[in-house]
Amino acid sequence: MKRSEQRILTSHGGSLPRPPELQALNQQKQSGQTIDEAQRWTLVKASVPEVVQKQVECGVDIVGDGEYGKTNFLNYIRERLGGFEATGDIEFSGAMADRRDRRAFLQFYQDELSGRGGGGRPQLVCTAPVTYTGTSQLQTDLENFKAALQGKTYEEGFIPALAPTYTGDNRYYPNEDEYLTAVADAMRVEYEAIINAGYILQIDDPGLPAFWEAYIPAINVEEYRKIAARKIEVLNYALRDLPEDRIRYHICWGSWHGPHSEDIPLADIVDLVLAVRAQTYSLEAANVRHEHEWRVWGDVKLPAGKILMPGVVGHATNVLEHPRLVADRIVKYAGLVGRENVIAGTDCGLGGRLHPQLVWAKLKVLSEGAELATRELWS
């Protein structure tokens, strides 16, 4: 994985705005409607080169496929794992989930966010051996991205994949450990394929911090850390023997536009984050609930050889960051962990969380801020 050895490199969280026609088909599919899959994949193939080109035009160095082949960064895994079936019940995620923050600001959520930021989806349970059944979709993603990168100027390409702890309840395996091991083995197929294709593997694990506030009543930090540590063990098992320098790990506290009053502090989980077998760690650092946590890196030493990718532009506001602010954020992190160990990123994937015009403006500002920071750090 390339480092910021001569200048500050830039990247982002993964998801980018999809064309309206593609997004409409994705939403129909997620709601259980039958769609024309051939039409959907035709749109994906035509759109990936465009999203790569837009990233290049914005000055992004480490580019992705926008996750165009996936209906959703989280739900896509339901289409790529076998052994699960729907119960007929509906489960909720994001802004619609029953969380402590939602209970504390119920009127806000009812007035402002109901129906947005993640709705209901069929609840799944494991009723048979877990297998990876998404080889065809995965290979199409890899081929589309390879074709889209031809002739483009960029530093590296990355593809996100979900951590192996976002499936349904176990009703097949004799215990939870065997179940989680089976899911990890299945997801490893995707992880290996992405790396073997020559791309950086980004592991998306928003639940590591975000599930904290889903416990009602609340549990204490030590209890939660034990639960989170077990999930890290499962992830590291899935990543075993894969080259750490081709892996980056992304966490967030949930990307819906809410108060986030119950977010667990980074300081309480940072050692767990650093325990993941990855070279780069992508964290929220630009939104007002977490921007102050740059201070954590004054107390916690980034291990040798590792890279930090703090979000220096965010998805939580329509206000366009000033390049000078972006540069100041980068310089602050560079002073703590070393300029060569910083890649300028976004808090999370921007697709679906901001108007497309704002997404491209924010990525342009990201590049402009990195250029300012480079001049300051290498002057």
Domain residue limits, the chain: 9-76+134-377
- pLDDT in the model for residue 75: 84
Confidence of residue 284 (pLDDT cuts 50, 70, 90): very high
Distance of CA 306 to the CA centre of its chain: 19
Helix (H) or strand (E) holding 10: strand 9-10
- pLDDT in the model for residue 187: 97
Instruction: State the Cα–Cα distance between residues 271 and 296, nearest whole angstrom.
Output: 11
Q: Which of 280, 336, 268, 270 is nearest to 305 (CA)?
A: 280
Q: Which of 207, 289, 291, 312 is nearest to 249 (CA)?
A: 207
For residues 76-93, average pLDDT: 87
- pLDDT in the model for residue 116: 57
Q: Pick the residue with more confidence: 89 or 205?
A: 205
CA angle at residue 361 from 210 to 76, to 5 degrees?
40
For residues 234-261, average pLDDT: 96
Confidence of residue 72 (pLDDT cuts 50, 70, 90): confident
Task: Output the CATH code of domain 9-76+134-377.
Answer: 3.20.20.210
- pLDDT in the model for residue 355: 96
Distances, alpha carbon 275 to alpha carbons 188, 212, 232, 255, 332, in Å: 18, 18, 8, 24, 24
Average pLDDT, the chain: 94
- pLDDT in the model for residue 368: 98
- pLDDT in the model for residue 214: 93
Find residue 64's DSSP bridge partners. Answer: 158
Instruction: State the Cα–Cα distance between residues 342 and 337, nearest whole angstrom.
Output: 7
Q: Which of 324, 295, 303 is nearest to 312 (CA)?
A: 324
